[in-house]
Structure 1
Amino acid sequence: MRRFSLWLRERPMVADSMLAGLLFALEIASAFGRTAPVLYVITGAGLCLPLVCRRRHPRAAATVVLVMSIVCTITLYATDDLNADENSHPGVFALAISLYTLVAYVGRRAAAYYAVGLVIDTTVSILLLDQDALLIGIFSALAYTLSWILAEFLGARRAYDEEVAARLTIAEFDRDRRAEDAVYAERTRIARELHDVVAHAVSVMIVQADGASYALHRDPEKAERALSNIASTGRQALSELRRTVALLRSPATPDEMPQHGTAGLARVVETMREAGLAVELVQSGAIDDVSPSVSLGVHRLVQESLTNVLRHSGANPKAWVHVARRDCDVLVEVVDNGSSRYGSAAARKRIVGSGNGLVGMRERVAVLGGTLEAGRRPDGGWTVRAEIPLDPDE
């Protein structure tokens, strides 16, 4: 049963189709003994079928259900089908479902307008079908109020789940960033060690070899000592190289620095979007063939900037990312809309350099020899703009 429930949750249209089918089956069962059973079933189908796409097109589905409810009332009145026990459609429960859908998936304002339509529909039904105004009014009010409260509760739960998912995503970004930075720092240390070992050893061996070649005939003993030094230096360097290569081959260290490029930026943007951040990405110029250090710097700037937007921009955050390769550098610009759920400007204030994120971006750009500017725009949004120079040999 739990598996079936999870299966339905992943396929909302299937669940909605089953709900619409159940209401339509009640419509068919209620059609027997009607004055115009075929017309009754057709109008009842108009009440039930829009529920199939209620989550994909909530406004349109709710509007069709409301209009069809009024049509059903007029049809019952026109066909003189006013039996006190049968003067309604079972499919009118679709009205409460539509109200729930609007509250949960669209918003309170649209739901409030729809509630006005429901009042009108109930009034028309009471007047035309000669129903008990008190009974129908109380029943309708309870049904619609319950739908609204249930939607608010489940909407709050869904918002909480989305917030938890966003926090987990940010935590994963932070974890990956720390891990990759640690690997990069370790590789830099190993590269420095390799340079020290190889450069020193090769330099000594070259000098000793030159001396041995000059002293080979004039001073054989000196040449022999030089050759012995070359062998000793070579064995020592080989031992150091083996140790360093063993570190490089360790599973904890990748074989080479990652080249992120356009695919990496696209992955960052797509992940931010499932979490809940609306992002537009514009890229120009070839950035897939820049040096790995520049590629990593661009990737980290975009990732950190979008993470800050997701953390600080409040409800309905939006960001625009522009990455362009120019003649001598790579331009990275990230702009957000600056919206916030916290109200006052003081509560939304972000000071440049006050957080580790901006400090880290400044340090990264500085290491790459570039410049970074970050600050608030007049409309309340934030801009992060960096210019990272290309390698001199490019």
Structure 2
Amino acid sequence: MFGRVHEWSKHHVRLMDALRVGPLAALAILMAWPYVAAPAQGPPGMRIGVAGYLLLSGALLAPLLWQRRRPLAAFAGVALVCFGQWLLAIDLVPANLSVLVALWSVACTRSFGWAFAAWLVAELGVFLVIVRWDQVTISTFFSGSIFVVTVWLTGLYASTRRRYLEGLEERAERAERERDQQARMAAAAERARIARELHDVVAHNVSVIVVQADGAGYAIDSDPEQARQAVRAISRTGREALAEMRRLVGVLRESEADATDYTPQPGLAQLAELVDGAGLPARLRVSGEACELPEGQQLVVYRIVQEALTNALKHGGPGVRALVELVYGGTDLVVRVTDDGRGAAAPPGSGGHGLIGMRERVAMYGGAVSAEPRRGGGFEVLARLPVPLTRAA
């Protein structure tokens, strides 16, 4: 609600200025009755009459309509009207409080130098009023200036608070921009790494197609059955290669680093070795009817398990143990990595790009991944990957 009011006030500046002057104007109107009822032989302040009173009050209040946009000009206007009032020996009126309002605006919105100058002018006004209508003593001057000093200090505090909040907002916006930029850079780097890893998978499939095609060409006359099996293998491998190529279109990025890395990429066959060499007590459990997965998906499963075990080792604390589960469900494969470490109590990581990499990999195959602390303690990484229909059958 306050946010909507703030936005509305930003688009209706003049109306908000008028509303700020409203209470003081209402007070001036309510206090006009003595000037209407006073006889002509009354005090000097009464002898100006109701018309003069309203004119003086309007002259004192009018500059406040510009106090937000031009606080210095508003303060100068009020101060000049007050000085003219002093020269004409006109008694004080409720609208003279506009000096304090203008002083607060200058102290709140302008530099300390201007605020200090406005305070000196206000103190001079207090001194002139005491000289005209009272005996000048330290106590009377202190009593008159205490309101001026209070308003001035309140304006300085509001200025300091406003600048502090503006600095916080600026730092928050800069941190958010840097965070988004780092996330984009991390995603781009991860896509480039995925592209390099999947290059070997696609190259392998194409090589299989070439070998099977050559074998079918040699066996088509002497062994037709073997040729048919080779053609079926070509068809299946070609579909896999085409699917991998389509996924690569969205993740290919230029990268000069590791351009000559031709190391074969790991898969499910190397998963047990990964778990055994994780650096912490870990077990591998496979349930359901296992099926053959494309090498790209095997690589995704391997990297998810690798990242989860690394996080458990880094953040799980001493004596942490992990369990890696692969659950084949016919149409999907569930990868769950749990540990009994510190979970939510673990200190936050400095990079935070591991989960981004998991999401990028799983999203390529239409899956989903989550990583969060468990209720009873520890941490859980859960990924669900759809299994190709031909493989599931």
Instruction: Compute the TM-score of the two structures, normalised by the length of structure 2.
Output: 0.50
Q: Work out which of the residue numbers 49, 55, 69 in structure 1 matches 2:68.
A: 55
Query: Percent same amino acid at aligned positions?
Result: 26
Q: Does 1:182 align with 2:186?
A: yes
Q: Report if the CA contact (8 A) 1:194-1:241 is conserved.
A: no
SS at match of 1:39: helix
Q: More displaced, 129-138 or 92-101?
A: 129-138
What are the superposed Cα offsets for residues 60-90 of structure 1, whole Å, 9 maximum, x if unpaired?
1121121122123334x2xxx5xxxxx2021
Q: Write the deviation string for residues 3-55 of structure 1: whole angstroms up to 9, x where unpaired.
A: 57973686274554223122122223333423232232122112222223312
What secondary structure does 1:11 align onto? helix
Task: Give the AA of the match of 1:22.
Answer: P
Contact 2:104 2:151 in 1 (8 A): yes
Using the alignment, how far apart are the partners of 1:245 and 1:225 within structure 2?
30
2:27 equivalent to 1:26 = yes
- Give the letter for the 1:153 counterpart: Y
Residues 181 and 9 of structure 1, relative CA distance in 2, 3 Å threshold: closer
Query: Are residues 1:154 and 2:158 paired?
Result: yes
The root-mean-square deviation of aligned C-alpha atoms, in Å, is 3.8
One-letter identity of the residue aligned with 2:68: R
Q: How many residues align structurally? A: 238
Distance 1:200 1:232 in 2: 13
Give, in angstroms, the shift of residue 233 of structure 1.
Answer: 4.6
Conservation of the 8 A alpha-carbon contact between 1:194 and 1:244: no
CA contact (8 A) 1:70 1:125 kept: no
1:92 aligns with 2:93: no
Q: Which runs of 5+ in 2 are unaligned?
A: 36-45, 254-350, 352-393
Matched, 1:66 2:95: no
Query: After superposition, where does 1:113-262 map in structure 2 within 5 Å?
Result: 113-127=117-131, 129-134=132-137, 137-206=141-210, 208-209=212-213, 212=216, 215=218, 220-221=221-222, 225=226, 228-236=229-237, 238-239=239-240
Bigger-Rg structure (1/2): 2
Task: Give 1:146's aligned amino acid.
Answer: T
Structure 1 distance, partners of 2:146, 2:206, is 88
Partner Cα separation in structure 2 for residue 101 and residue 182 of structure 1: 47
- Superposed, 1:31-42 pairs within 5 Å as 31-32=32-33, 33=35, 34-36=46-48, 37-42=50-55
C-alpha contact (below 8 Å) 1:16/1:54 kept by paired residues: yes
Measure how far apart 1:257 and its partner are: 9.2
Residues 1:109 and 2:113 are matched in the alignment: yes
Decide whether the 8 Å contact of 2:216 with 2:228 is kept in 1.
yes
> 1:146, CA displacement in angstroms?
0.4
Aligned residue identity for 1:141: S
1:47 aligned partner, one-letter code: L
Aligned partners of 2:28 and 2:95 also within 8 Å: yes
Shift in CA distance, 235/179, structure 1 to aligned 2, threshold 3 Å: same
Give me the TM-score of the superposition, normalised by structure 1.
0.50
Closer, same or farther in 2 for the Cα pair 1:226/1:183, shift >3 Å?
Answer: farther
Whole-Å separation in 2 of the counterparts to 1:19 and 1:228: 88
SS in structure 1 of the partner of residue 68 of structure 2: coil
Amino acid at match of 1:154: A
Residue aligning to 1:7: 5
Q: Is the 8 A contact 1:54 1:101 kept in 2?
A: yes
Alignment of 1:342-361 (within 5 A): none
Deviation at 1:116, TM superposition (A): 2.6
How far apart are the structure 2 equivalents of 1:193 and 1:246? Answer: 13
| Structure 1: runs of 5 or more not aligned | 82-86, 249-254, 259-355, 357-394
Give the aligned residue type for 2:97. F
Instruction: Verify the 8 A CA contact 1:47 1:68 in the aligned structure 2.
Output: yes
1:64 aligned partner, one-letter code: G
